Structures are given as C-alpha cells and as structure tokens.
Structure 1
C-alpha cells in the first residue's frame, strides 16, 4: 500500500505520516516547507520526501502517474484566516485550485485509488446560531479561507459521485499538540498559549475571551482519519472534534493550573471574520468506532510535559 500526504511535514501531516509508516504503508510526502519542518517527521528515513509546492501541476501529475497511490491525504493549505483576508487570490491557489487540479488529473487519467481524503475546517460553519454543528448544518463561511474550504469540499464530493471516485472530507475543529509552531501566524491558540506560558511572555487576547472552541488533541485526530480510511468511507463529510465546548478563558485557567504559572494577558479588539462559538456533533464519527481518548486536561498535561522536556 502506498500513500501520498501533501503538507506531510506540517503539524497534523507529520503525525499522520508517522502513523501510516507504523501501519506498514509506503509514504510519499510533498511539502514546500512554508510551514512544515522535515524534523517533524519521526520516520523520515523511511519516507520519500519531495520539497515541492502542490501548485506545481506538472510535478504533481508526474508524481501521481509514477507512484500510483492507493491513498491520498490532502493536508497542504494556507491555514490562516488572516492571511486569506490579506491575500485571497494567492491563498485560493493552494486551498482550492491545487485540489481541483489533482482531482481532474485523477479523473482524466483514470488512476486507481482506494481513498482521496480532503481536510476541510470547522471555519465553514461561520457564526450561525445552531449548536452543536452537524455535518448537515447550514454553513456560512466568513473568510476566503473558509469559502475555499467549503467550495473544495463540494468539488471533492461531487467528483466522488459524478465520476465514481472514493472521496471523503473531514472538518477539523481546533487541533493542538506537539509540533505546532507558535511563531507561525497559522498556529493555533493553544500553541501560542503554550509558548507564552513557557517563555513567560504576554499573551494577546482578542476580544473578551468568551469565544468558544472545540479542542481536539492530535492523537485523536489521527485516530479519526485512520478509522475513516480503514472503514473505506466514501462521499461523506465528518466533523473531527472532541464534542466539548470550552471558552478561551476556561482554557487559560486550566492551562495556568497545569503549568503552575500565571499568564500575562494583553487585551485587544476581536479579529475580523472570527467565529464566536464553535462545538461539534461527532455522532457520525462515533458510529465508525471513534471515542475521544484525550480530555483537554490530559492533552494539555502531555503538551506541557513535551514542551518542558524539549526546553530542558
């Protein structure tokens, strides 16, 4: 079995690559290293790595033709809402065009495939009042990033149905854990919180801190993806989350307790396009056999231990 992971040197991608290797799958990574690092990949001596951009259609098509992948996991993305607002046309090329180009080449070339998994985002739901968010909930994408993710989902599912391709989409909620880069503008809030606590630097709080999120530890994300792969699910969308709504202030208090430190907080106005409340319904995933292995407290403890170990 052979798998392609685009964005495989990034935070989530590298954890997925490591898992696939342990499952005995031959893995090929494509990553331009704009956010990822080769050192993120634990088993990199067992992985074929191409430092290349997914926008390079000629390269990607040649790779697909040569390698004949069984599984394709499309994680490459410009994953910042703020960046997509600043550079909508440029981020669109990675977040939408690159995926569509790959699907079209697979279709035209009639490449055999067991699964094409596209990673979308909870950002597609926007600020609509219905909670928890179900996969069939109304969507209201508020930023170019969220719009691209939703539009690409629609293409991925339509290609599955129209051309009999084994496609599936996952909507990540707020993923955290080791290998997040806190200095990156794309980084999640927990990564930035961890860095501020560790370095005793002030944390910039946007808004009142009452905005809520559904945080999921990286190991549970990999569990979810692997369940979707092994169940050979097709032409569906899955929320990948914990199913628990927590405010940012609640998170800060819990993390201060775990770290045994008080966070210095600097408050400022809310960010444009930011979602106020977010929590997922994960019943579809549970039906596949998913169960959350990591509570927020356990995940934060593990994350903090790793940071302290790396710093010592």
Structure 2
C-alpha cells in the first residue's frame, strides 16, 4: 500500500509517518507539508518522500497523490485561540484546504481519504459523553472549519462515491508535540515548564475536563483504518471516554517528571469548551481490537521524550553556554 500524509511533518503526522514506514504492508509514504507548524526534522531519516508546499496548490497535490492508494489528511492550522485571532486563515487552511485535498483525491482515481476533524465541533452542547449524533454547536472559527471538513467528506462520499473516513480527534498528546509556541497544548506545555522549573499556566480555575488520547493510539487506529480500508462517511470519535480535569492532570505530570507542578492561574480563554468526553461506541464497532494507551503510561513516555530533547539540545551547545528551550 502507498500512503500520502498531508501535514506529515507535524506532531501527529510525523508519528504516523514513523508508524507507517515501519509497517510491512506499507510500501511507500509521501509527506506534503508547508512547514508553517510542522518541522522537516520530525521526519528526517525516516525514508519518506517529502514534498514541501501548501495543500492549496492543486498541482502539488496532483504530484503527491499520483500512484497513491490513500491519503491521511492532517494538514491544518490548529488551535481555537489562533482561529479567534485570524478566522480567515483558519478557514482557508482547514476548510478550503480540505476541499483541495478531496478534489485531488478524485483526480487521482478516487483515493481513500481519512481526515482529522475535532471534538471542538460539539462546542456549547453540554451533554456528556459526546456521541456523534449530538447536535453540533461550534464556539470558535476553528471548530466551524473542522465541521466543514467532515461535512465535505460526507458530501464527496455521497456525490462522487469517494471512500472517506472523518475522525473527531480529542486532545491528542505525546512525544514530538511542541511546547514552545503560544498555541501549545496543555500536556506538553506543562511538562516542559515543570522540567524547566517554571510555573504551569492554568486558564481559568482548572476544573475543565478533557478526553486525552495518546498519539500512539491514534496512529494505531489510523493504520488499521488504512489497511482494513474502513469507509464511513459519518464522523467517528477517536477517543476512549477517559475524562479528567486539568487539576487532576497535575499529579500525573508530577509523577512522570519527578517534580512538583507550580500553578499560575490566568483568565479563561474565550471559546474554550468547558468539558469534553467521547462516546466511543462507533469507534469500538469499527475497531474492536484497539486498546488505548493508559494516561499515566502516555504522560510518562511524553516526559521521557522531553527529557531527551532537553539533553540533546544542551549537548549541541559549547560548554558554558546556556541552551534555549528546545523546539519540540
């Protein structure tokens, strides 16, 4: 099987590329990424074919998708706060970008398209756990773009018989996730701060709940979806119902890092969803053998990766010179 990954130099994409390139049933992996949020170093030495460029470049997509069997569409401008600051950029990258990917998949002969949506589409709907048939109530431009992503996949399946599978990701975390930018996710940001002896920034009172999913589990599901050629035009939650508050996350990080977590509370962010938890019934029906990595195991692996990153960054500087915070 030959697979293309859009956004393959990013956090989830590079982890998936690593998983696929080592799989005996995958013959070729191509990555396309404009490096706006990804990093070429993430895929260095993996043996993938890398194409630098934007998914809104139709000619580039035709080149990347030619001869492929499937595409995992992960390219996006992530982050709710980013989309609040610049809604148009999020729409162009996420909604229009998805449309370009689907058109290119059609031109390439009808590739199997697996794409990332987001739990943020549930938004203001308070019901827990979140099942896929709930009314969506986006609270941010980012959430709207992800709702458009999965709607376009469904429309292309019904209009053009394109084989598709939209996944709603829930707070994916793990090794390789950057902590050095304004839109960093909570787990890498708190682990990095704790290891550096800095306070962890808590937006609001910290009672918000999230359904964290380890990136290795996500890659396992995506790999199975490719190899089994799972086609489902309805969105599928990719999470396992493991709801935890941000405050309850702190002891897990303290155990994994071996350091106390100092908290610094700041104002809550606009458009943040207060609570999130997945109903995984549809996921379990499609992937009955997938076992999620436990939160404590995942956070431990993530902390280990950050320690290694810090040591590698420090060793690249002459003795006596202080290394900057590593680009993770």
TM-score, with structure 2 as normaliser: 0.89
Aligned to 1:56: 57
Aligned to 2:320: none
Cα distance, 1:18–1:113 mapped onto 2, change above 3 Å: farther
Aligned to 2:17: 17
Cα distance, 1:119–1:290 mapped onto 2, change above 3 Å: farther
Please say if residues 207 and 267 of structure 1, whose CA atoms lie closer than 8 Å, have aligned partners that are also in contact: yes
Please say if residues 18 and 43 of structure 1, whose CA atoms lie closer than 8 Å, have aligned partners that are also in contact: no
Query: How far apart are residue 53 of structure 1 and its match?
Result: 1.2
Please say if residues 80 and 185 of structure 1, whose CA atoms lie closer than 8 Å, have aligned partners that are also in contact: no
Query: How far apart are residue 290 of structure 1 and its match?
Result: 4.1
Equivalent of 1:159 in 156, 159, 162: 156
Aligned to 1:99: 98
Q: Distance in 2 between matches of 1:216 and 1:140?
A: 22
Q: Distance in 1 between matches of 2:185 and 2:263?
A: 17
SS in 2 for 1:18: helix
Q: Distance in 2 between matches of 1:280 and 1:293?
A: 13
Aligned to 2:80: 81
Q: Distance in 1 between matches of 2:130 and 2:305?
A: 32
**Residue ranges of structure 1 left out of the alignment (5+ in a row):** none
For residues 178-202 of structure 1, the C-alpha deviation after alignment (integer angstroms, 9 at most, x for no partner) is 1111012332110101111111112
Aligned to 1:261: 259
RMSD: 1.6
For residues 97-154 of structure 1, the C-alpha deviation after alignment (integer angstroms, 9 at most, x for no partner) is 01112323443x3x32451011111100113121111111211111110001001211
Aligned to 2:43: 41
Query: How far apart are residue 89 of structure 1 and its match?
Result: 1.0
Please say if residues 69 and 113 of structure 1, whose CA atoms lie closer than 8 Å, have aligned partners that are also in contact: no
Q: How does 1:97-246 map to 2 (within 5 A)?
A: 97-107=96-106, 109=107, 111-234=108-231, 235-246=233-244
Query: How far apart are residue 208 of structure 1 and its match?
Result: 0.5
SS in 2 for 1:168: strand
Task: List, as ranges, runs of 4+ consecutive aligned residues in structure 1 with deviation greater than 6 Å.
Answer: none
Q: Distance in 2 between matches of 1:40 and 1:105?
A: 25
Q: Distance in 1 between matches of 2:307 and 2:301?
A: 10
Query: How far apart are residue 282 of structure 1 and its match?
Result: 1.1
TM-score, with structure 1 as normaliser: 0.94
